[in-house]
Amino acid sequence: MVNIRENKVKHKLGRGELSTMLMGHNTTDMIDFMGPLGFDSVLLESEHGPVDFADIGPLTRICDIWDMTSIVRINFNNPSIIYRTLDLGAQGLMVPHINTAEEAEAVVDAAKFAPIGSRGSYTSRQGYGIGDYFSKANNETLITILLEDIIAINNLSEILKVDHIDAFYVAPGDLAQSMGYIGQSSHPEVQEVVNNAINQIVSSGKIAGALSNDQNVESYINMGVKFLGISWTNWVIGGGKNYLNQVTTTKSR
């Protein structure tokens, strides 16, 4: 009997370990190229990027090859979007703009089979040849919700009471906008709200996620963040600028 593919991120977080998520423009070749680096997961961008249903199968297969959890950020909290994304092979979901406990419960209901939820009864690509797929899928499906509006922060105590959510990810960009600081995610007031939210999540015994970079990753780890997202595009931009600066500096001598 074939065993269901283990969800690396879900199990690492469940053991209280750090887990990493690589973010950026998605192609099968890019994921293949990044695979040997050793990241735990890849965010497949279906909210702000071009990933559509037809792309999920090929992209998740490349993630499978490199033992990286495939996480699709969907564009809307909708049951049919959620279970179709999972049916096509995604091992995890990231759901945007979750502002209430009821909205968080709706995510769980759509992503989990009975008796936990009411996900449509169908065998995912990840379930071919798997005995007792439905119960095993519940144990291997990662659910991450995005807290990216100030209303979500105000309702955080109630949202944190919702079971079966693997990570509560605090997103600074939209949060800044909802606080009146559009484009200013590093504003001190925004950062204070982000840090307070992370502390509240960690204190509740739940898993906090955050958008990290080379400069803040250590401080987030020290705060107790376990799920760390990083955009590889920042490395390309930084390296490219540094190279061009050296070319200009050398040329001017």
Cite the active site residues: 48
CA angle 111, 26, 40 (to 5 degrees): 60
Q: How far apart are CA 81 and CA 138, in angstroms?
A: 17
Residue 116's nearest CA partner among 149, 164, 174, 78 is 164
Question: For the chain, how many residues are written?
Answer: 253
Cross-strand pairs, 209: 169, 227
Q: How far apart are CA 217 and CA 220, in angstroms?
A: 5
DSSP 203-229: HTTPPEEEE--TTTHHHHHHHT--EEE
Q: Report how far apart the first and last C-alpha atoms of the chain are (Å, whole number).
A: 68
CA distance to 75, 100, 188, 195, per residue, from 153 (Å): 20, 9, 16, 11
